[in-house]
Structure 1
């Protein structure tokens, strides 16, 4: 039985590039057409279509290869669940050039330490982001998501809806926004001016 290497790469934001991870996977022997990716999805988000496809592509005797553990998961429970599911199916997990062996106590400890560091790193990033947002908010630099319609447009939506001239769908079409945007506009109190 031939072992097939299945690769998985992930980057958290749309601004990041997967090229380095793809190159690392290819250097580890993964064929380019056997590399599955998720772009713009965090490791804490368990809904990752690329990972689901990579896991579905693996068969007994195959090896799932990831450049680093933090690309696979950002929490210890998630990493543990993925690794345990792979072991149960007879699929090996390679972290970079090292194959994880759950039967080896040192390998198991090393995996758990890596997963703990990945989770710690994720928590630090989240903490720094919250701190940065709080500082920006205190300086008036972070105002949140702005309404899609200007104050003048919002007043006009309210006027037209109040007059009974148009349905919610008509207003959405007229102002080129979604129906939920019209509903939110009607519920929101308008800024004066």
Structure 2
């Protein structure tokens, strides 16, 4: 039984979690002070690397392990594929038991359902916006007028693309793409 404890800020105290994990029989406990939003959590990575088939990862609460239901399901599925069990003390979930596996698979199905709903809403919203004449994507860095001015500047043999790009406060790549999008070939006649 291996424990993992996390607090979000340096001001928070992990003692409550550590006491619960020790009481649950954890032989080793990995702990860190990182926000759940932080994707890189070194102690969690060390903990997950250490786990072997037959081990059980124990956390005080589900939110200590994952930032979202999708993250949680991903971590626990990976553990399950490696033969590692998972237990959350507060929510009383234990994937070693049949009932615990069922509950966690229901969580997984809910996460997948939520993801599908978000995707459907996004696609429907984009289609509705297109039907109203709106285009998606980022606003172009250069207006049609800017591109015409840039093309005129580039006709001067003394001007370089770098100078023109700096004038418009854009990169050379953006300048090239803008010229191409508006039908200008370089070198300009």
Is the CA contact (8 Å cut-off) linking 1:6 and 1:35 kept in structure 2?
yes
- After superposition, residues 1-193 of structure 1 pair within 5 angstroms as 3-6=3-6, 29=17, 34-38=33-37, 50=39, 52-53=41-42, 55-56=44-45, 58=47, 63-64=58-59, 65-67=61-63, 71-73=68-70, 79-80=73-74, 82-86=75-79, 88=82, 92=86, 94=88, 97-189=90-182
TM-score scaled to structure 2, two decimals? 0.62
- Structure 1, unmatched stretches of 5+, are 9-22, 39-48
Report what 1:42 is aligned to.
none
Tell me which structure has the larger Cα radius of gyration.
2
TM-superposed CA distance for 1:104, in Å, is 0.8
RMSD of aligned Cα (Å): 3.9
Aligned CA distance change for structure 1 residues 62 and 151 (closer, same or farther; 3 Å): same
TM-score by length of 1: 0.61
User: Secondary structure of 1:146's partner?
Assistant: coil
Aligned partners of 1:93 and 1:100 also within 8 Å: yes
What's the CA shift for 1:189?
A: 1.5
Q: Distance in 2 between matches of 1:129 and 1:2?
A: 40
Gaps of 5+ in 2: 19-31, 184-189
Q: Indicate conservation of the 8 Å contact 1:6/1:54, yes or no.
A: no
Distance, in Å, in 1 between the alignment partners of 2:169 and 2:36 is 34
Q: 1:107: how far off? A: 0.9
What is the deviation of 1:6? 2.6
Distance 1:73 1:165, change over 3 A: farther
